[in-house]
């Protein structure tokens, strides 16, 4: 790839990111009240995204269990245990990542 192509890709990505970040403000305008549909999505999407990420991370565990799948299951269990115990997302992510790297 040449430098011009890379620069164009970076500029297009930056413009798309800026557009997506500014879009909610332009749609909602100066409204004081957030619409109910947006509030519903704000409540439900974080859990849905986490569920999709968990399924994605653990999708190959049955086929590779002996070669390292058990490490993923142990790290996931540590993540759940830390989150239930401390109720802190940062601690559960860092703790389970450390356990997975040590295994």
Q: Give residue 14's pLDDT.
A: 97
pTM of the model: 0.56
d(CA 12, CA 17): 9
Give burial (CB, 10 Å; 0-12/13-18/19+) of 71: middle
Q: Give residue 70's pLDDT.
A: 86
Q: Give residue 15's pLDDT.
A: 96
pLDDT in tens, the chain (103 residues): 789 999 999 999 999 999 998 888 887 777 778 889 988 998 999 889 988 988 898 888 877 777 878 888 899 899 989 989 998 889 988 999 999 999 8
Q: What is the total residue count of the chain?
A: 103
Ordered DSSP codes for the chain = --HHHHHHHHHHHHHHHHHHHHHHHHHHTT-SSPPHHHHHHHHHHHHHHHHHHHHHHHTTTTTTIIIIIHHHHHHHHHHHHHHHHH--HHHHHHHHHHHHHH-
d(CA 100, CA 103): 5
Tokens for 63?
């086929």
Q: Give residue 7's pLDDT.
A: 95
Q: Give residue 34's pLDDT.
A: 80
């Amino acid at each position: 790839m040449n430098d011009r192509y890379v620069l164009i890709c970076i500029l297009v990505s930056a413009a798309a990111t800026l557009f997506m970040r500014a879009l909610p403000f332009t749609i909602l305008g100066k409204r004081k009240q957030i619409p109910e549909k947006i509030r519903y999505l704000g409540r439900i999407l974080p859990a849905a995204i986490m569920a999709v990420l968990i399924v994605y991370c653990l999708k190959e565990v049955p086929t590779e269990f002996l070669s390292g799948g058990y490490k993923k299951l142990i790290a996931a269990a540590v993540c759940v245990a830390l989150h239930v115990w401390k109720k802190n997302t940062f601690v559960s992510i860092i703790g389970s990542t450390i356990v997975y790297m040590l295994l």
